Structure 1
Amino acid sequence: MEVILVPAFADNYIYVLRDAASGKVGVVDPGEAGPVQAALERRGWTLTHILLTHHHDDHIGGAAELKARYRATVIGARADAHRIPDLDVALGDGDRTMFGEQTARVMAVPGHTSGHIAFWFEGAESLFCGDTLFSLGCGRLFEGTPAQMWQSLQDLRALSPSTRIYCGHEYTLSNGRFALTVDPDNGALRERMDEVTALRDRGQPTIPTTIGLERRTNPFLRADDPAVQAAVGMAGVPAVEVFAELRRRKDHFRG
């Protein structure tokens, strides 16, 4: 499965997908239609599927226009059916959907929003997780609880280490600056920040990352790690409470 990163707005990523075997073309979280149409026209592709992870406008704002133009099928969360216009296929946790010859498993990952889902293409080792898991970070808790988000992150953390993560925003540099404040002795994190800084200096994306890399360097996936717990003065405290404190600190971080 070919994945094309399409920048949108200030820091969003939209993903255009193509299944080579069938020629089907999809898009994940089209916050605006124009950049998607341009990417399709450059390649001579016709859109067939629109996959939505959650209801926020910067992820669905272009879906209606793209559906009308290409007659594409809109796929999203059953729990968000009342908040996603023109939804054709409503899915829940554990459901599977076909995209050409590819199969995506739907994972319910509430926290950022109550109805948030992720699409895991196991065969293509690709995860499209919207604003739940970021490179070196995680989404703000607009509708969910710390317990919900911590469980969602544990579910994603359990995927194969080689799984590529395609998240909704280019937040890696600022996330990494925060991560260094709560995990300062992590050599893998410092090495990664050197790489991230070099990529951003060249105007290049830091996405995709991988589950394995995030396990080693993302503090929000390591709230149960004694090193992170000790660094925030919460040794032996339940992981969900450590996660909540990490999220609280990140919400107020200015760096």
Structure 2
Amino acid sequence: MSSAKPAFKRILLKLSGEALMGDDAFGINRVTIVRMAQEIAEINRMGVQVAVVIGGGNIFRGVAGGAVGMDRATADYMGMLATVMNSLALADALDKAGLTARVMSAIGIDQVVEPYVRPKALQYLEEGKVVVFAAGTGNPFFTTDTAAALRGAEIGAEMVLKATKVDGVYTADPKKDPLATRYSEISFDEAISRNLGIMDATAFALCRDQKLPIKVFSIIKNGALKRVVLGEDEGTLVYA
């Protein structure tokens, strides 16, 4: 176990599905997901209780052409199933990294994963297991960002860590504007007034109302997750 003292006891890690692709066009890059599992294992062994919500964009991207013109609710349910696939893949990688992972789904797939039951999820976290919340909120029209905010509030997480391919929130798109600078921290109200689009509006409002801070950082950077949980200046902190 690391001698460094983490800044948090319990966190909700929101992984974008795209972050699992590595350099691939879609799907799951095995090297990438193994590295992420190892980084999660490192902070878990430091004593941090970790829950995870994963998006499904990397899987759904492979069938996006066929979804054109599809009923929105149907497409959203397909997206939920994509998150279940990602959650199973991450749980497998976590198990191989020496952790015990439990996947809990918001929609009933009892032969594949457990149903989401809040007291059971809390028990798993207290036991040191990693809990992976699959299938979003279980409802169409809500994103996995909203699921992360909701589950984070339900389990009493101290922070939602939004892990993407970008190392924080910038004043402008850094790919288009070389003068764009990264915010070290920014308030919810300022982020809204500047229309920064950190999360979808429902998720952002829920985090603000619950005074649940968000840290946006790059999961692509080696060691970034550990630096975040140690309270170092990594990514962008969004606070109430």
> TM-score if structure 1 supplies the norm length?
0.35
> TM-score if structure 2 supplies the norm length?
0.37
Query: 1 or 2, which has the higher strand percentage?
Result: 1
The structure with the larger Rg is 1
